[in-house]
Amino acid sequence: MPNKAVTKRNKQAPTILAQASITQHEGPLPLPETLADYEQVLTGLAERIVVMAENEAAQRHGVENKIVKANLRDGLLGIIFAFILCLSTIIGGVLVAIFYQTGAWDVFERIWIGDISRCFYLWYSI
């Protein structure tokens, strides 16, 4: 059987209502309302914030362009060095075939099948 004194006390307790609101914004610039608030605090502050965001975007684009150019350069250098390696292997095999005629075809075949195919395998497995 419930205690009547406790029950009365619970019925007389005031009701407290609370409301919370969370606003989240992502991006280089604050919301226009926030910019207007900054402008009210200090004249010209909103303009400085916009200029700062523009400078940051320009710097980020510059870094991304440098990264893309470096990746293109590295890819081209890889192709050039792979070509030089393959060509030197072929020339070496031909020279071995010309100057050392005994078993030269075996050496040339090992160079061609081994090294050249390995170059292409490693290139396409990247």
- Model confidence over 27-55: pLDDT tens digits? 888 888 989 999 999 999 999 999 999 99
Residue 117 has pLDDT above 80, yes or no: no
Residue 92's pLDDT band, with cuts at 50, 70 and 90, is: confident
Outline where DSSP puts E strands in the chain.
none
Q: Write down the domain spans for the chain.
A: 27-124
Q: How far apart (Å, rounded) are the C-alpha atoms in residues 63 and 49?
A: 21
Angle at which helices 117-124 and 45-99 cross, to 10°: 160
Model confidence at 61, in pLDDT bands (50, 70, 90)? very high
Of 78 and 99, the structure prediction assigns the larger pLDDT to: 78
Q: Is the pTM of this model over 0.95?
A: no
**CA separation for the pair 76, 66 (Å, rounded):** 15
Q: Quick one: which of 68, 78, 71 has its CA closest to 122?
A: 78
**Least confident interval from 21-30, 84-93, 105-114:** 105-114
